[in-house]
Chains A and B, each alone.
Chain A
Amino acid sequence: MQRETLKNLLKNGAIWGFIVLELVFFQVVGSVLSLSETAFIDPDNMLLLLKQSAPIGIIAVGMTVIMINGNIDLSVGATYALAGIVMLDSMTWPIFVGLGDWAIPFAWLMALLTGCALGLINGLIVWKTGVDAFIVTLGAMLGFRGLVFMYNGQQPTYHLNWTMVDIAEWGVFGLQTSALVFIGVSLLVWLMMTRTVHGRNAYAIGNNREAAVNAGIRVGPHILINFVLIGFLAALSAVAFYSGSGSVNPNDGMLFELWAITAVVLGGTKLAGGAGSIVGTFGGVIAIQLLRKGLGHIGAQTETVNLVIGLILIAVLLLDKQLNRQGQQELKL
């Protein structure tokens, strides 16, 4: 019994231990090499970090739900870009342009609806055709990105509204809007996954789909809801980010899906589904961002960052496999 508790602690707490390790490492190495004036563990630095991790973080929260449910969504990066374009472009549409700053909520709404619609398409195809989500969303990734380029060619889509920028840069306790959105979304989705029927069933479906069907759970609608949710969150991430920047490059959001998946997996969610947590993903997102910032802080070249993150990801998964294998062997009869 005690060993089990210890193992669970090790498994669930690993990501936080890793974060502490990163903080200590970069702090110490940073001051030894005295490369930077400021300490690494500086409140402003940490708050900035939260803001910087928001775009991928918000998407990663949705990806966690999708992956616990036993699916995957590769189209989130393209959805992010497309929602950003819709938001900025819609503010120049004749019906909204007369509203002045009141166009802003409509622009946001358009962007969020775009995200939901794209998610709905993915979800319906996965549900109704039974084609693997990997294939469906791989197609969607290419297709949605195609739409992004059809919108404005290679040109960035540009619209700056200073009220919107003000909203994006508004903040409490030094946390800017996008960071607050990230925290809020994490909290809400965490509640959804741990406390609601939908969350419970999502775990059950991901863990053993056949048993879920046999228990009378309607698998399809749950899958659909989760795809709409991740579409919505990808769009929300775009809203939070582009409200401040005001310019969408057609290549924006590329590889976001992979960064989101990396964060989710680092946070302990199983690729096969059925197990994982929003809290873990939150940790995973922070850990990656810390690594990026930290490597910069100690003067490592930016090119090395991806290599290091890749190596760490593999190391973490190896450790996880080791821990899980031990657990299973004891019980095999």
Chain B
Amino acid sequence: MTTDRKPALRLEGIVKTFPGVRALDGVSFEVYPGEVHALMGENGAGKSTLMKVLGGIYQPEEGRIFVDEQETVMTSPLQAKAKGVMFIHQELSLANELSVAENIYLGALPRKSFGRVDWKMLFDRTDAILDRLKVGFNARTLVGDLSIANQQMVEIARALTVNARAVIFDEPTASLTDAEKVVLFEVIESLQAEGVGIVYISHRMEEIFKMTDRISVLRDGSYRGTLTTAETNEDEVTNMMIGRSLDLSRNHAHAELGDVALQVEGLSCHALFQDVSFEVREGEVLGFYGLVGAGRTEIAETLFGLRTPSAGKIFLKGQEIRIHSPIQAIQNGISLVPESRKEQGLVLGMSCRDNITLPQVDDMTAGPFVSDGAEISIFDQYRDKLEIKTPSWRTAVGNLSGGNQQKIVIGKWLSMRPEVLIVDEPTRGIDVGSKAEIHNLLRDLAKQGYAVIVISSEMPEVLHVADRIVAMYHGKVIRTFTAEEVTEDSLIQAISGIEGGKAA
């Protein structure tokens, strides 16, 4: 459609390797002026690495980058910006205590003599840009007072201050409401009309098919092809992304189910989630699926005592329990493998052994001192059981790969012999090979009689691992599916609130 014009941005044969991983394996990709080009792939497929190469954060070993067909070497984010390549990141990087105008022109404030800031010009220019975006705030508003959606608009306004050739949106709708999305899409369309090339990274098929002209797919760091949006469908894209038919990967092998390990009735936590009920049996993997912000992580945190519920009851093996702190949760046999393992799950500077024994080191003393032998034997046991690959128990956990780090967190809790193991985003940031290992591990744990709760944002993951799937939308349980009855369509509809489905 646009082949008669020069691409605004073109990548050619980009290769980037990390020790042991070929993160990008000859990726080529181009976006034309006025085009919205989707970049898709599973987590770990290489999208964010590619963006970091484009933004000058990583230097590729091979390959070339062209802006308006001029070969460019990206050395820093600042330089990428100067070349007209702008990023709208998932995580916003704004100074909350400064005004909208100051944020937009941060580092490039208009000046008068003696280095004084030309405030009038600053605010006038900013207001002109904000007018173009048709937003409901002005240049003098404090960024901290804006909603997330409006803060995102500030980021977009930043992109408009320079002569942007390409704007990359990384999961822009992750934290937006439907109404806010509409505004965002209008802005994208107007950028498009101005001849800016747009790269749109998202997991949400619905948006992809609504907004984009073409779709390029990455899998395991390599480029899998480009489809014209109007001529393809979700199945084809999905197949390209995961490289196999979903149904084959689904796990129907039921373990022997035991008693109900954990039962939750009408659990609510203020605005985060309401009236959540479910049960999980020994030997079962219960999946929680929903969009970011649907309240899944918050449920896990409540069960683990990090949040106080506003209503509802929790029963462990038929006994009602109250949990006000992680200590109580652990004593009751509930453990949580948290969403962000580096921030919440691991003490990165400590050794593998010390991380595994962290919650129970109190019980491992000989006289006044911690018993080295007892600790090492626990470590050895779980290293073998979980196949943790580490040079020695002394190695700092921060030096392990994501998959092995995750195993350390899981090992830490298994050594406590829990009743219920809650795993939030078990494979976030873990490479594809280790993913399968973690999945098998979770299945094995269920087989051994643990009650396992898996929270995930990746559909293949819940479909593969879970015996039953709780679909959540906006803090509510929409429906609980069994592995036999679930289909991708019904699951997607349930979690996007398109169709309520029948409550289980």
Q: Point out residues on A near B: beta carbons under 8 Å.
A: 1, 191, 195-197, 200-201, 203-204, 207-208, 210-218, 274-275, 330-331, 333
Contact = CB atoms under 8 A, between A and B. Distances in A.
Contacts of B327: 216, 218
Contacts of A195: 368-370
Nearest to B345: A211
B391 interface: yes
A203 B350 contact: yes
Contact of A211 (B18, B23, B346, B402): B346
Contact of A210 (B344, B350, B365): B344
A200 B344 contact: no
B412 A204 contact: no
Pick the 10 closest A-B CB pairs, nearest first.
A195-B369, A216-B330, A215-B359, A215-B358, A207-B349, A216-B327, A207-B347, A208-B347, A204-B347, A216-B359
A216 to B, nearest CB: 4
Interface secondary structure of A, over-half rule:
helix
Given A216-B326, A274-B347, A331-B398, A204 B370 contact: no
Contacts of A197: 361-362, 365, 370
Interface of B: 18-19, 21, 23, 304, 306, 326-327, 329-331, 336, 338, 343-350, 354, 358-359, 361-362, 365, 368-370, 391, 398-399, 401-402, 412
Nearest to B413: A215
Contact of B347 (A1, A196, A212): A212
Contacts of A200: 354, 361, 370
A40 B354 CA distance: 44
Contacts of A218: 327
Residue among A208, A214, A217 with the highest chain B CB neighbour number at 10 A:
A214
B361 A208 contact: no
Contacts of B19: 330-331
A195 B366 CA distance: 10
Nearest to B336: A214
Nearest to B429: A333
11 contacts: A210-B343, A211-B344, A211-B345, A213-B326, A214-B336, A214-B344, A215-B358, A215-B359, A274-B347, A275-B349, A333-B18
Contacts of A214: 304, 306, 326, 336, 338, 344-345
Contact of B369 (A191, A210, A274): A191
Contact of A196 (B330, B344, B369): B369
Contacts of A1: 391
B204 to A, nearest CB: 25
Contacts of A215: 326, 330, 358-359, 412
B399 A331 contact: yes
Given A195-B369, A218-B327, A331-B399, A211 B347 contact: yes
A214 B345 CA distance: 7
A208 B343 contact: yes
A210 B18 CA distance: 29
A217 B326 CA distance: 9
Contacts of A196: 365, 368-370
| Residue from A204, A211, A218 whose CB has the most chain B CB atoms within 10 Å | A211
Given A197-B362, A200-B361, A208 B346 contact: yes
Q: Among the interface residues A196, A208, A212, A217, which one has the most CB atoms of the partner chain B within 10 A? A: A208
A217 B327 CA distance: 7
Nearest to A218: B327
A197 B391 CA distance: 25
A331 B401 CA distance: 8
Nearest to A4: B399
A208 B18 CA distance: 26
Nearest to B363: A197
Given A196-B365, A201-B361, A331-B398, 13 more contacts: A195-B370, A200-B370, A203-B349, A204-B347, A207-B350, A208-B349, A210-B344, A211-B347, A212-B358, A214-B336, A216-B326, A216-B329, A217-B359
B254 to A, nearest CB: 32
A214 B327 CA distance: 8
B209 to A, nearest CB: 32
Contact of A333 (B23, B329, B338, B368): B23
A252 B449 CA distance: 65
A1 B390 CA distance: 11
Nearest to B431: A333
B146 to A, nearest CB: 27
